[in-house]
Structure 1
Amino acid sequence: MDAYLERLVDPWIDEILDSAPAMMITGARASGKTTTALRHAASVVRLDNEREAGPFRADPDAALRERPEPVLLDEWQACPEVLGAVKRAVDTERRAGRFILTGSAQSDADPALWPGTGRLIRVAMHPLTVREQISRSGHPFIDGLLSGDPPQLPADPPDLRGYAEIALRGGFPEPAVELEGNVRRGWLESYVEQLLTHGRAGSGNGRDPVRLGTFFAAYALNSAGIVNDATLYEAAGLDRRTSRSYTRLLTDLGVIAELPAWSSNRLKRLARGTKRYIADTGLWGAAVGADVELVMSDGDLLGRMIETFVVNQLRAEAVVDPSRPKLHHLRDRDGRHEVDVIADLGARGLVAIEIKAHSAPKPADARHLAWLRDELGQQFKAGALLHTGPARYHLSDRIEAIPICSLWS
């Protein structure tokens, strides 16, 4: 990649460094964290290099001192002692723009993160969105929907097959931007293989890469679904404890994600199960062995891929959306009503989104959005039925049919 692709989080990183002493960028390996952080740093320490990490293991406070700031501490989890040194440096001198830490996603329950509590602002970095891949500026989709500022749709929007090609390209910078065809697919398959043999997945920690691979494939086949733990671990041939351990691991590595169920005291009998997703549709394709021809011949796989793709675009935008939406899903216990994405804006209301692999949805296709609007009244600010057709049009009060490509137009 010859030129740097501006990331959605770049302005947010600048804003943080202008005001706060330290920040941490988390995300899946190879999603571009280091490349982005380097553009904001004055000096860098690569802590996955043992020669550079050695002084920090011996005396982290001394090793950190007198470096040009902001100091980028790359792959901090390879030398967790550095987090305590950052805490002490910030407590001693709390000026803006001192430290940037990068590393793969970590569980909030990880004790190594405790020294950063109250000292670090965390920024989640996702694989490239399509907007980032084509260097297109614009409002986050939910913010634009609320402001009534419709995007200019492309003159030649993708058709259903085009969306499948875009989705299976994924968002990891190297395969998405630099590689093509079989080489891209080989990169994604290799990523999955290396993910499963990651040091934290080894049998020394009670984790078997073969069983983990079976679990990841089962998870991928259920992406964009509400599936309970029992169904998932039985499909993978695991017990409950192992299944939950693998879920935590893959979440920490940033390759799976969940949308929690939305709840409200105004609506009764809502299901509580989470909705599960693979965090990148390129990885999803590698995990299930799907190419464009396969998804175009299998309606179930196609629907899961399109929804997973759209939700991941929205998840990446939510990090920088000024309205700070919290993303959920909604389903009632009887299965009569279901909304793919609820963007909860707190006291300001909510936006509801349905996702369909359909080129010309009708008002009846938005019946779940209309039901939610009627139940919630003015709390319902806007509804969008994102579809694979070329046109944006009104469906009913506060509900529009909008092409998926509006996410990057």
Structure 2
Amino acid sequence: MADQRVPVRPYRRRVVDDFLDDFQPESPAITIAGPKGVGKTATALRRAASVMSFDLPADRARLDADPTLLTALDYPVLVDEWQRKPESWDYVRRAVDAGAPAGAYLLTCSATAPRGVTVHSGAGRFIDVRMRPLSFFERDVEFPTVSMSALLRGSSEIGGETDVGLAEYVEEMTASGFPDIRRLSPRVRRRRLEAYVDNIVQREFAEHGYPVRRPATLRAWLRAYAAATSTTTSYNDILDAATAGENDKPSRTTTTVYRDVLAQLWQLDPVEAWLPSRNHLDRLTQAPKHHLADPALAAVLLGLDAEQLMRGTASAADLRDGAVLGHLFEHLVTLSVLVYAEAAEAQVRHLRTKGGDHEVDLIVERRDGRVLALEVKLKATPAEKDFRHLRWLKEQLGDDLVDAAVVTTGQHAYRRNQDGIAVVPLALLGP
């Protein structure tokens, strides 16, 4: 009889593995949080001797029958989707307080605890790490030659060449960073992404304690949020775009719930405004830049695929502040930078002065307050005007600007002689 077992796919190492390599041997409990489908369980399984998966009714029943079970299993113990059995958090917390060894527990979650459920703080006991969809580096499209960690340390070495061009970037914008989805053919992949959105609207809100009375309105709000990708569009304008022509608009309270629950499901990944700890700058806006968990979700909500984007049939009206393709490229760059910054223990922000006189797409801030500034341009060769905001910021910050770069779709990574600003294709930028 033929072997009917499903073949096990080879594991592709993730950037978060470096973090876990460093922290698991010295930490009794680590939580890995992120949206469904990013690969949290696959990563944690490689590091676990025992597994309790609370997606499974049988494992939930086992814990009900024996609340001491999590302390009786072989370490390391993976507590998968702990929020489905919230008391498991407290069991682990008590085990840590009682002296659980380093590396004893890995907990994963695709959402925070449901409404009405209170868990005690894990402060001082748990280390948290955010896991996102695959960065460009993790997709194994190209081998990077420029390290963001090195840029943050002040390394001046820039170089490398790639054949990756616009077509490959557009493919990656729509292919998604969800490992199981991106392996599929484009047609099946699109349907899976549509089903992913359907599941959020039809099931996950209700499972989180917020049944949706008007699914079409939530879906329209999600589409309007996707149309605001990589912009600081106000939430009022997003609501107006979602309900254009409707007299019976949802209340602000309702749309605040949309935003809050999507954030709790890790489906929103906004980039907050940078407010420097030193008094270098004033008149900065505080509006966040909008991003979903993955640019492919934005594309599917807008009804766009790679072919449409390459043909240029994506209407600029889909976004209020520029062409959709450029904003989706910035989303892809931002996702990658967020992954690399997590590994470097850095924070990612954006800068915009009131009135929009100066903008810098991404500010990567080290723990000591010094920053790496990144501009994102959907072009192979940036024009001279594309460097002006970075030059302005260098004048403002002086030595607190550790480096600056323009991220492009070009072929070559290099450093400019006239101002020292780097030019780095996204394919050549890695952790």
Q: TM-score range by the shorter chain?
A: over 0.9
Aligned partners of 1:57, 1:276: CA distance in 2, in Å?
41
- Superposition map of 1:4-403 within 5 A: 4-60=11-67, 62-106=68-112, 112-134=118-140, 141-146=147-152, 147-148=154-155, 150=157, 153-156=160-163, 158-176=164-182, 178-201=183-206, 205-208=210-213, 209-237=215-243, 238-264=250-276, 265-296=279-310, 297=312, 298=314, 300-321=323-344, 324-347=345-368, 349-395=370-416, 396-403=418-425
Q: Could you tell which deviates more after superposition, 207-216 or 15-24?
A: 207-216
> In 2, distance between residues paired with 1:70 and 1:203?
29
CA–CA distance in structure 2, aligned partners of residues 213 and 47 of structure 1: 28
Cα distance in 1 between the residues matched to 2:188 and 2:123 = 42
Q: Any unmatched runs of 5+ in structure 1? A: none
Give SS of 2:363's match. strand
C-alpha separation between the residues in 2 aligned to 1:140 and 1:89?
42
Distance 1:169 1:206 in 2: 30
TM-score, normalised with respect to structure 2: 0.88
Distance 2:116 2:374 in 1: 33
TM-score by length of 1: 0.92
Higher helix share: 1
- Asked if the contact 2:161/2:413 (under 8 Å) is kept, the reply is no
Task: Kindly state the Cα deviation for residue 148 of structure 1 after the two structures are TM-superposed.
Answer: 2.3
What SS does the corresponding residue of 1:256 show, helix, strand or coil? coil
Q: Cα offset for 1:399?
A: 1.2
The one-letter amino acid of 2:347's match is K
**Which residue in 1 is equivalent to 2:4?**
none
TM-superposed deviation, 1:390: 1.2
Shift of 1:205: 2.5
Give the aligned residue type for 1:14. D
Letter in 1 for 2:288: T
My pick for the range that moved more, 281-290 or 19-28, is 281-290
Check 1:368–1:110 CA distance in 2 against 1; reply closer, same or farther (3 A cut).
farther
Tell whether the 8 Å contact from 1:83 to 1:113 is kept in structure 2 after alignment.
yes
Greater length-normalized contact order (CA 8 Å, ≥ 6 residues apart) = 2
Gaps of 5+ in 2: 1-7, 244-249, 317-322
Q: Equivalent residue for 1:406?
A: 428
Residue type of the alignment partner of 1:403 = P
Q: Tell me how far apart the structure 2 counterparts of residues 170 and 256 of structure 1 sit (CA, whole Å).
A: 15
Aligned length: 404
Partners of 1:170 and 1:281 within 8 A in 2: yes
Alpha-carbon distance in 1 for matches of 2:108, 2:64:
18
Q: Tell me if structure 2 keeps the 8 A contact 1:262–1:328.
A: yes
Identity level (%): 33
Separation in 2 of the partners of 1:52 and 1:109? Answer: 22
| 8 A Cα contact 1:128 1:171, kept in partner | yes
Distance 1:20 1:190, change over 3 A: same
- Aligned residue type for 1:399: I
Tell me: CA distance 1:4–1:217, structure 2 relative to 1, closer, same or farther (3 Å). Answer: same
Distance 2:46 2:161 in 1: 31
Q: What secondary structure does 2:269 align onto?
A: strand
Asked if 2 retains the 8 angstrom alpha-carbon contact of 1:42 and 1:69, the reply is yes
